[in-house]
């Protein structure tokens, strides 16, 4: 049992810092200028989606905590200040590398409830009702985030867990100031909040939210106190579990007390590979991220993209051709390894990928209709959030966590103060039909009770000559894999620093729809014309991903790359 009696000096220092940052964020507008170099940390660094969360993680390390302690504290803080994706009602993945070289990864992905079944979103005619898998209580898988944080702490944590949660309780009780981006987002979600909630949440407002407005969350503070006092059982049993089940029973929800009590995170062997002398350490299934990333890098390594140039016609063409093939494999072969045998070793075999990519032509694009999954020889919202942390001892952690869509299924648990996920949409609700991100899924990812749904989350750590080199990750739904891929290429091939690698514009292809998604100003007019002549369809979009990354510089200092596309903030000391 976890019992917390008195606030420590660490918490007092943290909350003083929180108040200072809150005052600053309430008085400023979103910084639209883009820094070409990132925050430098001589000893340790945190990069996350919100300045307050990053500040809490950094202070934890200044006061003796390691990278895992800081990650846990940052995660709980994001549940308070970044409710569209930071969460205790969702799940995610963690990739860890300790300073003595040990690597590990934790799967705390949500699971389908016991009452789930493969046709639960189909009507009598077999037609898909995709709103049920994205909005409302039927869309929720069993949350894994809280269990994941306790599993991380039990194996690697050093400070008391109660001390890591306390700053988030303080923020939820006393309130925090909205950033301009946060206020803008809340204003776009008011109708959905009203439609899917049977009570007025702290995020409801009859008037538009403004930057600097204060949000207080007393119900969430009480939930965090239950967790602080009773450990994981403070969420999966007792009052909070009763509140979750009562919410489910109010309208078509499936999660039961047994589902909650029986949830367990799983330690998994990370996916590893090599690219131009660098070791890539990423997440295994049920994340498709690690497998797909290594496939993409294997397909890239034989080409001189540094000579071709960043976002040149040949570079973009190659990436798109690789991506359409890798995403076809993802749709066909990947799912929950606890339910089906996955051909991971075959997909990562360089001989397979050499054959897989051998039909790429630089004279024309391959229509996706002509691309199917490769022949495997015998023998897987964009509202997610990522944090990268390196401590003074060289420990590193990359955590990507999500509710799936922005604010998940849009339902806040009455009396508990947190949103539930809509991760059931990441299953193949109807194999062959796209989900909300346009991703096609197959039988390997069909719905089944207690099964984990396939994910694109790609928390990744990179080493070079057995030394830590990078910590990388992002939200972005189906674009996560390609955003991580491009960021690695930007550093390794194109010689960029971390902040520059995060800043530059991105592109994305995912097999279907058969198009290259392109951020505004990513490509010159000449490159766009050349790609069109090769047969590519281009679709312009506003933003792809929100990276939070760390690069170890040659002199041993740390450079943070915090994405200017959001409120992302890197802080170091």
Q: Which residue has the higher pLDDT, 372 or 48?
A: 48
The partner residues of 404 in beta bridges, in order of sequence, read 383
When computed from its CA atoms, the radius of gyration of the chain, rounded to whole angstroms, is 22
Within its chain, how far is the Cα of 107 from the centroid?
A: 12
Interatomic CA distance for residues 282 and 455, integer angstroms: 13
Cβ within 8 Å of residue 482, ≥6 positions away: 296, 319, 323, 506, 507, 508, 509, 510, 544
Does the annotation count 188 as an active-site position? no
Mean pLDDT across 398-405: 95
Please state the rounded mean pLDDT for residues 329-333: 91
- What mean pLDDT is predicted for residues 240-249? 97
Beta 271-275 vs 91-97: how paired, if at all?
unpaired
Residue 6, pLDDT > 70, answer no
Residue-wise burial string across 28-57, b where 16 or more C-beta atoms lie within 10 A, e elsewhere = eeeeeeeeeebbebeebbbbbbbbbbbbbb
Mark residue 480 as left, alpha or beta (left: phi above 0; alpha: psi -120 to 50; beta: remaining).
Answer: alpha
> What's the token pair of residue 509?
């292809």
The CA distance from 326 to 512, in Å, is 11
pLDDT of amino acid 133 = 86
Residues 51-95: tens digit of each pLDDT: 999 999 999 999 999 999 999 999 999 999 999 999 999 999 999
What is the reported pLDDT for 16?
Answer: 54
Q: Which residues of 141-159 are buried (b: 16+ CB within 10 A; e: fewer)?
A: bbbbbbbbbbbbbeebbeb
| Cα distance between residue 267 and residue 273, in whole Å | 19
**Spatial contact of 442 and 432, defined as CB atoms under 8 Å apart:** yes
Mean pLDDT of 135-142: 95
- The H-or-E segment that residue 552 falls in is strand 548-552
Average pLDDT value for residue range 348-377: 88
User: Is 80 exceeded by the pLDDT of residue 374?
Assistant: no
What local confidence, expressed as pLDDT, does residue 26 receive?
42
Answer yes or no: are the C-beta atoms of 35 and 359 closer than 8 Å: no
Of the pLDDT bands very low, low, confident and very high (cuts 50, 70, 90), residue 99 is very high
- Scan for tokens 């000449």, then name that residue: 526
Which helix (H) or strand (E) covers residue 75, if one does? helix 67-81
Q: Read off the pLDDT of each residue in 554-563 and give the average, rounded to a whole number.
A: 98
pLDDT of residue 289: 97
pLDDT band at 492 (very low <50, low <70, confident <90, very high): very high
Span 351-375, average pLDDT: 89
The active-site residue, picked from 300, 366, 384, 458, is 384
CATH for 270-382+457-555 is 1.10.246.130
User: Containing H/E element for 193?
Assistant: helix 190-196
pLDDT in tens, 294-311: 999 999 999 999 999 999
Residue range(s) in the chain whose domain bears CATH number 1.10.246.130:
270-382+457-555
% of the chain surpassing 90 pLDDT: 82
Q: Count CB-CB contacts under 10 A for residue 423.
A: 29
CA distance 453 to 141: 9
Token pair of 375, please?
């022949």
pLDDT at 15 over 60: no
SS (H, E, C) 452-484: ECCECCCCEEEEECCEEEEEECCCCHHHHHHHH
Distance, in Å, from the CA atom of 425 to the CA atom of 140, rounded to the nearest integer, reads 9
Give the pLDDT confidence score for residue 18 in this predicted structure.
52
- Cα–Cα–Cα angle for 80, 150, 407, nearest 5°? 30
Strand locations in 22-137 (E):
40-41, 45-48, 91-97, 103-108
- Per-residue pLDDT tens digits for 150-174: 999 999 999 999 999 999 999 999 9
- More confidently predicted of 493 and 121: 493
464's tokens: 């070079």
- What's the pLDDT at 538? 97
What six digits make up the tokens of 433? 């039909």
Measured in degrees and rounded to the nearest 5, phi and psi for residue 515 equal: -160, 155
Q: What is the pLDDT of residues 430-488, one digit of tens each?
A: 655 655 555 555 678 899 999 999 999 999 999 999 999 999 999 998 999 999 999 99
pLDDT at 23: 41
Q: Which of 374, 365, 367 is closest to 328 using CA atoms?
A: 374
The model's confidence at residue 37, banded by pLDDT at 50, 70 and 90, is confident
> Are 506 and 485 in contact, with CB atoms under 8 Å apart?
no
pLDDT of residue 382 exceeding 60: no
- Give the residue-averaged pLDDT of 312-325: 98
How many whole angstroms separate alpha carbon 212 and alpha carbon 298? 47
Counted residue by residue, the chain has a size of 573
Q: 3-state DSSP call for residue 533?
A: helix
């Amino acid at each position: 049992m976890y019992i917390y009696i008195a606030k420590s000096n660490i918490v007092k220092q943290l909350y003083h810092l929180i108040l200072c940052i809150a005052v600053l964020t309430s008085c400023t507008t979103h910084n639209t200028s883009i820094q070409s170099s990132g925050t430098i940390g001589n000893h340790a660094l945190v990069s996350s989606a919100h300045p307050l969360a990053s500040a809490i993680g950094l202070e934890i390390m200044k006061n003796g905590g390691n990278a895992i302690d800081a990650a846990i504290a940052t995660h709980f803080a994001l549940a308070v200040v970044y409710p569209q994706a930071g969460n205790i009602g969702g799940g995610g993945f963690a990739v860890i590398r300790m300073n003595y070289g040990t690597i590990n990864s934790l799967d705390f992905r949500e699971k389908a409830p016991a009452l789930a079944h493969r046709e639960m979103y189909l009507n009598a005619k077999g037609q898909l009702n995709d709103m049920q898998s994205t909005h409302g209580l039927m869309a929720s898988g069993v949350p894994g985030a809280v269990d994941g944080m306790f599993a991380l702490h039990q194996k690697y944590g050093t400070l008391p867990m109660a001390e890591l949660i306390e700053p988030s309780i303080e923020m939820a009780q006393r309130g925090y100031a909205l950033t301009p981006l946060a206020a803008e987002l809340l204003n776009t979600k008011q109708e959905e909040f009203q439609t899917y909630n049977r009570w007025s949440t702290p995020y409801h407002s009859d008037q538009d939210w403004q930057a600097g407005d204060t949000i207080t969350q007393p119900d969430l503070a009480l939930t965090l106190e239950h967790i602080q006092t009773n450990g994981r059982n403070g969420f999966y049993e007792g009052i909070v579990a009763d509140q979750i089940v009562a919410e489910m029973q109010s309208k078509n929800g499936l999660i039961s007390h047994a589902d909650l009590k029986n949830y367990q995170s799983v330690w998994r062997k990370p996916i590893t590979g090599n690219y131009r002398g660098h070791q890539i350490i990423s997440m295994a299934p049920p994340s498709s991220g690690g497998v797909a990333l290594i496939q993409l890098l294997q397909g890239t390594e034989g080409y001189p993209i540094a000579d071709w140039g960043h976002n040149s016609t040949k570079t973009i063409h190659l990436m798109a051709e690789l991506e359409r093939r890798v995403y076809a494999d993802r749709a066909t072969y990947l799912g929950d390894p606890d339910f089906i045998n996955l051909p991971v070793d075959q997909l990562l075999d360089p001989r397979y990928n050499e054959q897989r990519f051998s039909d790429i032509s630089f004279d024309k694009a391959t229509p996706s209709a002509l691309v199917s999954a490769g022949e495997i020889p015998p023998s897987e919202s964009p509202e997610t959030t990522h944090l990268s942390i390196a401590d003074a001892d060289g420990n590193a952690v990359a955590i990507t966590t999500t509710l799936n869509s922005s604010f998940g299924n849009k339902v806040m648990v009455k009396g508990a103060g947190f949103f539930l996920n809509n991760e059931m949409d990441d299953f193949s609700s109807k194999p062959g039909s796209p989900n909300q991100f346009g991703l096609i899924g197959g039988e390997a990812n069909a719905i089944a009770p207690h099964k984990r749904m396939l994910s694109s989350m790609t928390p990744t750590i990179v080493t070079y000559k057995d030394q830590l080199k990078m910590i990388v990750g992002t939200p972005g739904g189906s674009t996560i894999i390609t955003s991580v891929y491009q960021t690695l290429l930007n550093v390794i091939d194109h010689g960029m620093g971390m902040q520059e690698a995060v800043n530059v514009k991105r592109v994305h292809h995912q097999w279907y729809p058969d198009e290259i998604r392109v951020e505004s100003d990513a490509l010159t007019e000449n490159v766009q014309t050349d790609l069109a002549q090769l047969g590519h369809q281009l679709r312009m979009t506003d933003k792809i991903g929100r990276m939070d990354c760390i690069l170890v510089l040659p002199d041993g200092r740390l450079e943070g790359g915090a994405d200017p596309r959001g409120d992302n903030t890197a802080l170091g000391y």
